[in-house]
Every structure is written in structure tokens, then in C-alpha cells.
Amino acid sequence: MADLAVSLLSADFSCLEKQLQELKEADVKWLHIDVMDGNFVPSISFGFPIVKTLRKAFSGVFDVHLMIQEPIRYIKEFAESGSDMITIHLEACEDVEATLRWIRECGCKAGLAVNPHTPIEEVYPYLHLTDMVLAMTVQPGFGGQKYIHSVTKKVETLHKYLNENGFDSVLIEVDGGICLETALEAADAGSDILVSGSSVFKGNIGQNVHDLLEAMNHSEKV
Ligand SMILES: O=C(CO)[C@@H](O)[C@H](O)COP(=O)(O)O
């Protein structure tokens, strides 16, 4: 059964404590924290001091998505700030293997992300060092974009490959454009974790979380 990770990027930071409380009441277990450096992606979001502060207000899984060039430089700081899963981009690392190893040495689970147009086969050499593969379903950098349907096929291919090659413990996450219309497609393809931001924070948070989980739970995936 697929689960939801809520992307903080679309939260209202003027009332963040209240919104985090609403997420807790809706039984949200994963908080997706998008870190952007203005280099790997055009935007700048937040860094490890924010992650550290958030840790005091939310006890669930901190799913930290580093959209930064050469993330190996900052893994230790993000780990010490309370991250559980640290996901780096294959496209952003000179040495993907060393970066994944370092994440695990720092005590976190290691995630490996790929952009929508990167072939999914490029993650295969790193699966033995990876706890989760993140298939971006939008171009990284901004919330509120439309789901890129061609990525669904990549998720299906990855799901099959993981199952046939003894990597069934590796999670698949998708991120971007997840809403009531796309959640089922992503879950049916084999995604374990669906990241959603704007569809959660627009309107009633509790209701949105409930509706998104419902949409995923009708998945035909076994
Ligand atoms: O990493 C990103 C964008 O770069 C995502 O996490 C988005 O923030 C998801 O937002 P929605 O597409 O659900 O609005």
C-alpha cells in the first residue's frame, strides 16, 4: 500500500506550527523537505538550521530531498539536524557511490533521485547502496507543476527490476504533480511513497490528506 509524504514547500510558513499540527492530526507519517541551492535548481529554499528546528515540532520521518550540487559537502550537517532519509540527485554528484556511502555512514537512509528525463537504468549500479529511488515526476525546482506521465513507465520498469533482482526492500518514491487525478496512476505503477505539496496545503489539509490516501488505496498493486 502506498503512503503519502507531504512536501513542506507549499506550506504557509506564517502559520507553520498550526499546519504541522494538522498534518499530525491527519496521521501524516512522512514530511518531505525540499532543499534547493539556486544552482542545481533555480530556486533557493531552506537549509539544515530549518530542518533542525522542524525536528522539535514533528516526530515522523524526515525525508530530506537535496536538490543541491555536490551534496556530499553537506550530508553530515543534514544528518545531525535530524534527517531520516537523505536523497541526493544522480545528476548532481561527481561520485554517486561515495555520496550514498557517506549518507549511510552518517546514520541515515540513502535515497537516489533522478530527473524526469534521466533513464531509470542509470540508478541500477547503485541499488546495493540505496534505500529509496526517487523518480521526479516534474522538473525539480518548483511546486505546483503538472505530473509528467511518461515517468509512470519508468516507475513500472524500476518496480519490475527491483522485484526481479532481489532489491524488493528498496522503496520507490515519486515527486511532483501528485493530486487526486494522478495518485492512482503513480501508485499502480509501483510507487511506495507519493510526495504531494500543493494538493495538500490548498484548502482543508486533513481532508486533502484523507482524499489523497483514499485515491492511492484504490491501487491495484499487490
Ligand atoms: O521537489 C519538488 C519540486 O522540486 C516537489 O517536492 C514539489 O514541491 C511537490 O509539489 P507539488 O507538485 O505537489 O505541488
| Per-residue pLDDT band at 218 (split at 50, 70, 90) | confident
| Per-residue pLDDT band at 161 (split at 50, 70, 90) | very high
Residue 45 near ligand 1, beta carbon < 6 Å: no
Residue at 90: amino acid letter: L
Q: Which of 3, 34, 131, 188 is an active site residue?
A: 34
Cell of 38: 539556486
Cell of 60: 515522523
Q: Which long-range contacts (CB under 8 A, 24 or more apart) does 43-47 make?
A: 43/141, 43/142, 45/9, 47/74
**Distance in angstroms between the alpha carbons of the first and the last residue of the chain:** 8
Residue at 218: amino acid letter: H
Tens digits of per-residue pLDDT, 106-115? Answer: 999 999 999 9
Residue nearest to ligand 1 atom 5, measured at CA: 176
What pTM did the predictor assign? 0.97
Say if residue 192 carries a ligand binding annotation: no
Residue 116 near ligand 1, beta carbon < 6 Å: no
pLDDT of 133 above 50: yes
Q: Which long-range contacts (CB under 8 A, 24 or more apart) does 116-123 make?
A: 116/148, 116/150, 116/151, 118/90, 118/91, 119/154, 120/154, 120/155, 120/157, 120/158, 120/161, 121/157, 122/90, 123/90, 123/158
Say if residue 211 carries a ligand binding annotation: no
Domains along the sequence of the chain with CATH = 3-217 (3.20.20.70)
In whole angstroms, give the CA distance from residue 66 to residue 113: 9
Say if residue 62 carries a ligand binding annotation: no
